[in-house]
Every structure is written in structure tokens, then in C-alpha cells.
């Protein structure tokens, strides 16, 4: 059997790496010859914590509720970074809608999801950790393992793996079907083994969508089995009441649970304060940026169609938007390298 979640949490999956040693001179060069790229560097430097390590420490070394707005592209992610959230969540529904213009019906596959997650995770690789949707793992155990491996290489801190059939749908739609417990266990087992092979602190989140089809007790049973196979966190999708959500935390304690907050979805609206009081450890808001973006875009385009103007507020200039997306950093890179592209400003 795979390592228990308790052991995984305590051991943090992998031993810490030793500091990186940097040589300031080539071993065959004389003392007066230096490689410019290492001039004035310190003799040693500690490797920065990965997003996965940050997320694991937040989970198991603090008691805070990790609130993650759902982001789906570079601008929504940059805006969340600007506001200082402690974590981000890449929504599968948002990725499918923004990149493919399609509904969340298993249309986006590993390539689209990994590519989008890698872009978001590396906007600020030293910033808040990114949790991503990995759907069903996009196939059997081999694909579930491959998805974890690719997400780890992409810089994703953690992801949730669900038990829906491969022809899945958004967790807040009706008519969901799930695979057998045995088949789901195989997915979790393969995903856990993959992150152990990769020596990563990657946080594996087990998600069940069995509530619609089989009821609450089946969800608890599936979560306990996923926990015993090495999953770090649990996610029961589509709670039907606040009381049911609070009970799940109690029934699975002290194993940490994640709450997916989808306003106007299948579940009642639960606030951050309510989730914190219930004992949830992570809270993701899957449609936090996607739904408001749709409303704002539609309103603006309607104004353009009817009034002939966009109506952008005067304080929102092209420079403002570019600064959100890292304009000052790009200018600094050019100027520090001796470039003159921005000597007259922008």
C-alpha cells in the first residue's frame, strides 16, 4: 500500500536538497580570469522553495485557510497576483472557455491544461503556489501518472484528480457519472507513485463527484480510500447544504479538505469566514474571474454597439494594463542589460 497521508505530510515527500555551490572562476582559468555571468555571486545560494513545497508547508505547518481565486489566463492571474492572494487556482472550466471557447465537457485535454498551468505558475515562480484542475487524469493510471509528472515539471504546486468517467462534465452540472471505487483508487495510486518518483512535494488532492449518483456515505468512503492511497487533501464536489459541508470536515478530520465555492452552482453559497469556521483548509473560487469577465465584456461590447464608444474609465490606460502584466520588470531587464529601448519612457 502507498505511504499514508500522515507520513506523507510529515516527511513532505522528499528530503531537502543541499545548497547549490557556484564557482566564480573556471577551474582551468588563472586567478585573473572570471566568467562574467558569475562575477560577484555568492559562493553558495539556497534553492528557492518550489510552489509545491510552499503549499505543503501552508497546509501542514499553519492553520490558515488558503483562499485561491479561480484564474484562467495571464491577465486574470496577474490581477490576483497584484492583490496578494496566498494561492491561485487554475480552473478547468475557465481554461476550456478561454482557450477553446467550449463548455466544460472533457473537451480540454492534458496539452491545453498543462500549457495554461505552466504559463500561470511561472508568471511569478517565487510567488503564491498554483493549484490546478487535472480532471480525470485524461485516461487510465498511465495517463494519470503522466499528468502529474507534466504538472510537476510545469511548476504546478498541486492538483485535484476526480472520479468521474472520462466523458466528464463540470462538477456543478447535472447527470454526472463516476467510475468504480477500484478504478478511482488506481488513478490515485498512480498519481501518488508519480510524484514520489519525481521526488516532489506536489500536493495530491482527491476529488469525488459521487454525491449526485451515490450519496454522501459513498463520498466519505471514497475519500477515506483515497487518503489511504496517499492523497494529501480531499474534495467532495457539490455539497447540497452547509450542514453537509461541515459534517464532511468532521467525518474526515484531521485530514484536510478543500471547498470548491461556485456561486449559483449546485451548492449553497459559503463565505470564506463560514468555511474557516467549519474547518476547511483550502477554498477555491472556480468562477471568480470568469463570470465577472463575461459580464464586463458583454456590457462593454453592448455599449460599443449602441453608443459607438467603449467607455473605459480614464484611469485605465494601456500603460496601466501593461504594468499589471509586468511592464516595469521588462523595462528593468532591458535597462540593466544596457539596452536603450526605454530611455525615453513608454
- pLDDT, tens only, 279-305: 999 999 999 999 999 999 999 999 999
On average, the pLDDT of the chain sits at: 90
Q: Is 243 a catalytic residue?
A: no
* Residue 304: inside a domain: no
- What range defines the domain where residue 217 resides? 50-293
The active-site residue, picked from 104, 149, 201, 209, is 104
Cα-based angle 191, 133, 153 (whole degrees, multiple of 5): 60
Task: Give ∠ CA 292-120-65 in degrees, rounded to 5.
Answer: 70
> What is the distance in angstroms between the CA of the first residue and the CA of the last residue of the chain?
59
Residue 114 and residue 186 share a domain: yes
The question of whether 207 is a catalytic residue gets the answer yes
Is 174 contained in some domain? yes
Per annotation, catalytic residue among 146, 170, 185, 187: 170
Whether the ω angle into residue 117 lies within 30 degrees of 0, i.e. cis, is: no
Count of structural domains within the chain: 2
**Longest alpha-carbon distance in the chain:** 74
Active site residue 260: yes
Do 240 and 316 have their domain in common?
no
CATH code, 212: 3.20.20.60
Does the active-site annotation cover 89?
yes
**Residue 229 CB partners (closer than 8 Å, separation 6+):** 1, 2, 185, 188, 189, 192
How far is the C-alpha of 26 from the C-alpha of 329, rounded, in Å? Answer: 31
Mean local confidence (pLDDT), 126-137:
97
Per-residue pLDDT tens for 296-343?
A: 999 999 999 999 999 999 999 999 999 999 999 999 999 999 999 998
**Residue found by looking up cell 493549484 in the block:** 131
Residues 123, 81: contact at Cβ < 8 Å? yes
- Which residue matches cell numbers 455539497? 239
pLDDT confidence of residue 49: 80
Same domain, 279 and 316: no
Q: Is 26 part of any domain? A: no
- For the beta carbon of residue 9, count every other beta carbon within 10 angstroms: 19
Percent of the chain with pLDDT over 70: 86
Between helix 74-82 and helix 110-121 the angle, nearest 10°, is 30
The answer as to whether 299 is a domain residue is: no
Same domain, 326 and 195: no
Please indicate, yes or no, if residue 37 is contained in any of the structural domains: no
Model confidence at 18: pLDDT above 70: no
Same structural domain for residues 118 and 190? yes
Answer yes or no: 201 catalytic.
Answer: no
Residues 168 and 228 in one domain: yes
43 is a domain residue: no
Instruction: Supply the pTM of this predicted model.
Output: 0.87
Tell me, yes or no, whether 315 and 235 share the same domain.
no
Residue 111 annotated to the active site: no
Instruction: Dump pLDDT digits (tens) for 33-87.
Output: 443 444 444 555 566 689 999 999 999 999 999 999 999 999 999 999 999 999 9
For residue 215, CA distances in Å to 133, 205, 237, 247 come to 23, 20, 11, 14
- Let me know if 273 is a catalytic residue: no
Identify the active-site residue in 172, 207, 222, 227. 207
3-state secondary structure of 88: strand
Does residue 183 carry a catalytic annotation?
no
Tell me, what's the pLDDT at 47? 63
DSSP designation for 158: E
- Give the pLDDT band of residue 267 (cuts 50, 70, 90): very high
Is 141 in the same domain as 269? yes
Catalytic residue among 151, 229, 260, 281: 260
Q: pLDDT value at position 139?
A: 95
| Sheet containing 66-71: order of strands | 233-236, 203-208, 158-162, 130-133, 88-90, 66-71, 282-285, 258-260
Residue 1 inside a domain? The answer is no
Domain assignment of residue 39, yes or no:
no
Kindly state whether residues 166 and 196 are assigned to the same domain: yes
Same domain, 93 and 220: yes
Amino acid at each position: 500500500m502507498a505511504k499514508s497521508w500522515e507520513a506523507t505530510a510529515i516527511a513532505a515527500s522528499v528530503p531537502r536538497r543541499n545548497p547549490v555551490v557556484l564557482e566564480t572562476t573556471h577551474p582551468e582559468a588563472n586567478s585573473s580570469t572570471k566568467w562574467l555571468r558569475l562575477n560577484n555571486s555568492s559562493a553558495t545560494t539556497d534553492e528557492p522553495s518550489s510552489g509545491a513545497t510552499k503549499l505543503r508547508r501552508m497546509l501542514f505547518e499553519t492553520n490558515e485557510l488558503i483562499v485561491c481565486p479561480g484564474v484562467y489566463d495571464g491577465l486574470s492571474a496577474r490581477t490576483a497576483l497584484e492583490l496578494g492572494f496566498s494561492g491561485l487556482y487554475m480552473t478547468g472550466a475557465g481554461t476550456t472557455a478561454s482557450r477553446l471557447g467550449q463548455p466544460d465537457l472533457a473537451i480540454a485535454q492534458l496539452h491545453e491544461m498543462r500549457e495554461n498551468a505552466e504559463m500561470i505558475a511561472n508568471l511569478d515562480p517565487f510567488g503564491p503556489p498554483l493549484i490546478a484542475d487535472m480532471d480525470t487524469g485524461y485516461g487510465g493510471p498511465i495517463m494519470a501518472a503522466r499528468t502529474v509528472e507534466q504538472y510537476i515539471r510545469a511548476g504546478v504546486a498541486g492538483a485535484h484528480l476526480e472520479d468521474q468517467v472520462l466523458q466528464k462534465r463540470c462538477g456543478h452540472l447535472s447527470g454526472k457519472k463516476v467510475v468504480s471505487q477500484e478504478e478511482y483508487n488506481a488513478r490515485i495510486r498512480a498519481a501518488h507513485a508519480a510524484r514520489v518518483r519525481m521526488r516532489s512535494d506536489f500536493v495530491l488532492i482527491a476529488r469525488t463527484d459521487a454525491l449526485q449518483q451515490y450519496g454522501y456515505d459513498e463520498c466519505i468512503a471514497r475519500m477515506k480510500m483515497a487518503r489511504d492511497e496517499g492523497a494529501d487533501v480531499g474534495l467532495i464536489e457539490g455539497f447540497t447544504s452547509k450542514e453537509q459541508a461541515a459534517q464532511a470536515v468532521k467525518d474526515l478530520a484531521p485530514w484536510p479538505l478543500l471547498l470548491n465555492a461556485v456561486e449559483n452552482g449546485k451548492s449553497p453559497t459559503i463565505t470564506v469566514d463560514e468555511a474557516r469556521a467549519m474547518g476547511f483548509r483550502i477554498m477555491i473560487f472556480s468562477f471568480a474571474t470568469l463570470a465577472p469577465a463575461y459580464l464586463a465584456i458583454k456590457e462593454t461590447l453592448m455599449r460599443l454597439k449602441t453608443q459607438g464608444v467603449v467607455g473605459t474609465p480614464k484611469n485605465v490606460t494601456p500603460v496601466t494594463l501593461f504594468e499589471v502584466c509586468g511592464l516595469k520588470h521588462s523595462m528593468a531587464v532591458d535597462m540593466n542589460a544596457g539596452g536603450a529601448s526605454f530611455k525615453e519612457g513608454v
